[in-house]
Amino acid sequence: MLRHSILFAGTEIIGCDILFMKRRATLEEIAIEDLNGDQTIPFNRVYLTGKEQEYFTDVLKQKELACNGRYTHKVQDWLKGRLGTNGAFLTGAGTLALEMAALLLDLAPGDEVIMPSFTFVTTASAFVRAGATPVFVDIKADTMNIDLAQVEKAISAKTKAIVPVHYAGVGCDMDQLKNLAKKHSIALVEDAAHGILATYKDQYLGTIGDIGILSFHETKNVVGGEAGALLINNEKYLTKARQLWHKGTNKHDMELGLVGRYTWTELGSAFAASEITASVVWAQIEKATEIVEMRKAAWQRYYEMLTPLAQTGHIALPHVPQDCVQNGHIFYFLTQSKTIRDELIQHLKKDKIESVFHYIPLHSSPAGLKYGKSAGDLRTTDSASERLLRLPLWADLSVAVQKRIIASIERFYQAKAQ
Ligand SMILES: Cc1ncc(COP(=O)(O)O)c(C=O)c1O
> Three-state SS across 126-157?
HHHHCCCEEEEECECCCCCCECHHHHHHHCCC
**Contact (CB, 8 A) for 92 and 227:** yes
Q: Are residues 245 and 302 in the same domain?
A: no
- pTM across the whole model: 0.92
Mutation probe of ligand 1 site: the residue of 13, 89, 95 with most atoms within 8 A of C-beta: 95
Q: Are residues 18 and 88 in the same domain?
A: no
With the CA atoms of 70, 72, 74 and 76 taken in that order, what torsion angle do they form, in degrees rounded to the nearest 10?
A: -150
How far apart, in whole angstroms, are the C-alpha atoms of residue 400 and residue 99? Answer: 41
DSSP string across 140-207: -TTTS-B-HHHHHHH--TTEEEE--B-GGG----HHHHHHHHHHTT-EEEEE-TT-TT-EETTEETTS
Sheet containing 356-357: give its strands across: 11-14, 5-8, 356-357, 388-390, 332-334
Burial class (CB in 10 A: 0-12, 13-18, 19+), 298: buried
Q: Are residues 90 and 148 in the same domain?
A: yes
Q: Which residues pair with 115 in a beta bridge?
A: 136
Residues ≥6 apart with Cβ < 8 Å to 92: 226, 227, 228, 270, 271, 272, 273, 274, 277
**Contact (CB, 8 A) for 98 and 122:** yes
Q: How far is CA 51 from the centre of its chain?
A: 24
How far apart, in whole angstroms, are the C-alpha atoms of residue 377 and residue 312? Answer: 30
Q: Are residues 40 and 115 in the same domain?
A: no
Mutation probe of ligand 1 site: the residue of 20, 122, 222, 271 with most atoms within 8 A of C-beta: 122
Q: How far is CA 345 from the centre of its chain?
A: 23
The domain boundary, picked from 262, 285, 308, lies at: 285
Q: Are residues 256 and 304 in the same domain?
A: no
- Domain CATH for 173: 3.40.640.10
How far apart, in whole angstroms, are the C-alpha atoms of residue 295 and residue 329? Answer: 7
Residue 279: give the domain boundaries: 52-285
Centroid of ligand 1 to alpha carbon of 225 (angstroms): 12
pLDDT tens for the 418 residues of the chain, in order:
233 333 333 333 333 333 333 444 343 344 344 577 779 999 999 999 999 999 999 999 999 999 999 999 999 999 999 999 999 999 999 999 999 999 999 999 999 999 999 999 999 999 999 999 999 999 999 999 999 999 999 999 999 999 999 999 999 999 999 999 999 999 999 999 999 999 999 999 999 999 999 999 999 999 999 999 999 999 999 999 999 999 999 999 999 999 999 999 999 999 999 999 999 999 999 999 999 999 999 999 999 999 999 999 999 999 999 999 999 999 999 999 999 999 999 999 999 999 999 999 999 999 999 999 999 999 999 999 999 999 999 999 999 999 999 999 999 999 998 8
Q: Are residues 279 and 293 in the same domain?
A: no
Mutation probe of ligand 1 site: the residue of 43, 44, 217, 277 with most atoms within 8 A of C-beta: 217
Torsion 136-272-233-185 (CA) sign: positive
Q: How many Cα atoms sit within 13 Å of 280 on the Cβ side?
A: 19
134 phi and psi, to 5 degrees?
-70, 135
- Domain CATH for 37: 3.90.1150.10
Q: Which atom of ligand 1 is nearest to the CA of 3?
A: 9
How far apart, in whole angstroms, are the C-alpha atoms of residue 307 and residue 46? Answer: 27
Greatest pairwise CA separation for the chain in angstroms: 79
Q: Choose among 121, 106, 67, 72: nearest CA to 241.
A: 106
Centroid of ligand 1 to alpha carbon of 5 (angstroms): 11
Centroid of ligand 1 to alpha carbon of 268 (angstroms): 21
DSSP 359: P
Centroid of ligand 1 to alpha carbon of 348 (angstroms): 26
Q: How far is CA 173 from the centre of its chain?
A: 17
Q: Are residues 350 and 378 in the same domain?
A: yes
The domain boundary, picked from 233, 255, 285, lies at: 285
Q: Are residues 233 and 320 in the same domain?
A: no
Ligand 1 is surrounded, with C-beta below 6 A, by 4, 93-95, 119-120, 122-123, 165, 191, 193-194, 215, 217, 228
Burial class (CB in 10 A: 0-12, 13-18, 19+), 67: buried
Q: Which atom of ligand 1 is nearest to the CA of 227?
A: 10
How far apart, in whole angstroms, are the C-alpha atoms of residue 215 and residue 229? Answer: 6
Number of domains in the chain: 2
Which pLDDT score, from 0 to 100, does residue 34 have? Answer: 52
**Strand 159-162 vs strand 112-116: parallel, antiparallel, or unpaired?**
parallel
The domain boundary, picked from 285, 304, 338, lies at: 285
DSSP 264: B
Q: Are residues 166 and 300 in the same domain?
A: no
Q: Are residues 120 and 230 in the same domain?
A: yes
**Contact (CB, 8 A) for 349 and 333:** no
Q: How far is CA 283 from the centre of its chain?
A: 20
Q: Are residues 35 and 75 in the same domain?
A: no
Q: Are residues 133 and 17 in the same domain?
A: no
- DSSP element (H, E) containing 7: strand 5-8
